[in-house]
Amino acid sequence: MLAIARYALKSPWHAAATVASLAILSLFIPLISILSGAIVGLIILTQGLLSGTRVILVSIVGVTAAGFLMTQSLILGVSIGLVQWLPMMLLAETLRRSRSLSLTLLVGMGMALVVVALQYLLFPNSGELWTQLLLEMLNAQQQAGPEMARFEQILEQMVHWMVIMLVAVMYATFIATLLAARWFQSRLAESDGYREEFYAIRLGQSAAILALLLSVASMLIAADWLLAMAMVVLTTFLYQGLAIVHSWSRAKETKSWLVLTYILMVIFPQVVVGVATLGMIDNWLDFRKKWKNLPTKTD
């Protein structure tokens, strides 16, 4: 991946060709979209917003042309630019100017909360629309019986939670993409800056109080928009929690707990909430300050 990043930095045309090619490839391998966005973020971090904007515009033209040849539609490039690259532009420029992952996370959280508000204001019935669309695609409405009714009930619940978690998942993806861009920048510069910045993530007591209030309110009040906002703030503090786990692993010079944490997060969603909660309470207890004095292993 570093070879791809080096190639993209050779010139604006190299960058645009790389970003557009990865975007087209992501239509077949969705995870490639993270790499495409990371290259966009890398260009902005190293060369500025203007250079990044030029690369994005040229890439949109290239993706649109390729999309038209494949689907006879002109919307592909613009949709990718708006959905994938515009958020990366905002986040990467924030990080470039502030040089603070903590501030960038807070700015991203604010943008995500605004998107949640717009989502439920403009599309209050999006869950029902998605359910009907999926039923039509599966030709399920032509069937009847108790099994079909049970299937529709399960589908409605799945779509319901998909809508609630949509913005939080997208936000987590954009932050992961930004971190990949910052990692590229650090590795290409042969610097430890990224690791030190990640380990130092601290979002502050005010943000932690907001997260706690939203979390408690979402449990007491049956409102989907409130739960969606709670998901966003928990996602934000997940990164502070992970910074703590990484710092602990570094202080103890062992990776076993770090690996175990990631495995458990994949298997049990409760562990994700636990790590995010750890990130919240760290703003008062400051675990990492205590761990700086831990003895390290010697040969």
If DSSP codes are grouped into helix, strand and coil, which group holds residue 26?
coil
Max avg pLDDT among 43-57, 60-74, 104-118, 188-202: 104-118
Q: What is the mean pLDDT of residues 109-125?
A: 92
Does the pLDDT at position 28 exceed 90?
no
**Better-predicted residue by pLDDT, 209 or 85:** 209
Backbone phi, psi, residue 47, to 5°: -125, -10
Q: How far apart are the first and last CA of the chain?
A: 34
CA dist 6 → 3, 50, 141, 189, 218 (Å): 5, 19, 52, 11, 45
Q: What angle do CA 227, 231, 236 make, to 5 degrees?
A: 150
| Mean pLDDT taken over the chain | 86
Does the pLDDT at position 202 exceed 80?
yes
Buried b / exposed e over 223-235, threshold 16 CB at 10 Å, is: ebbbbbbbbbbbb
- What is the percentage of the chain residues whose pLDDT exceeds 70? 92
**Better-predicted residue by pLDDT, 164 or 74:** 164
- Give the pLDDT of residue 297: 41
- Give the pLDDT of residue 148: 67
Q: Per-residue confidence at 32, pLDDT binned at 50, 70, 90?
A: confident
Please tell me the distance from the alpha carbon of residue 187 to that of residue 193, in angstroms, as a whole number: 9
Name the H helices within 123-145. Answer: 126-137
DSSP 8-class letter at 142: G
Q: What is the mean pLDDT of residues 34-40?
A: 91
Does the pLDDT at position 67 exceed 80?
no
Does the pLDDT at position 296 exceed 50?
no
Q: Where are the domains positioned within the chain?
A: 1-98, 100-129+156-299
Q: Per-residue confidence at 139, pLDDT binned at 50, 70, 90?
A: low
Q: Per-residue confidence at 298, pLDDT binned at 50, 70, 90?
A: very low
Q: Per-residue confidence at 1, pLDDT binned at 50, 70, 90?
A: confident
- Give the pLDDT of residue 258: 87
Q: What is the mean pLDDT of residues 256-276?
A: 90
Does the pLDDT at position 140 exceed 60?
no
Name the H helices within the chain. Answer: 2-8, 12-25, 32-47, 49-71, 76-80, 86-98, 101-122, 126-137, 146-188, 193-199, 205-220, 224-252, 256-267, 269-285, 287-291
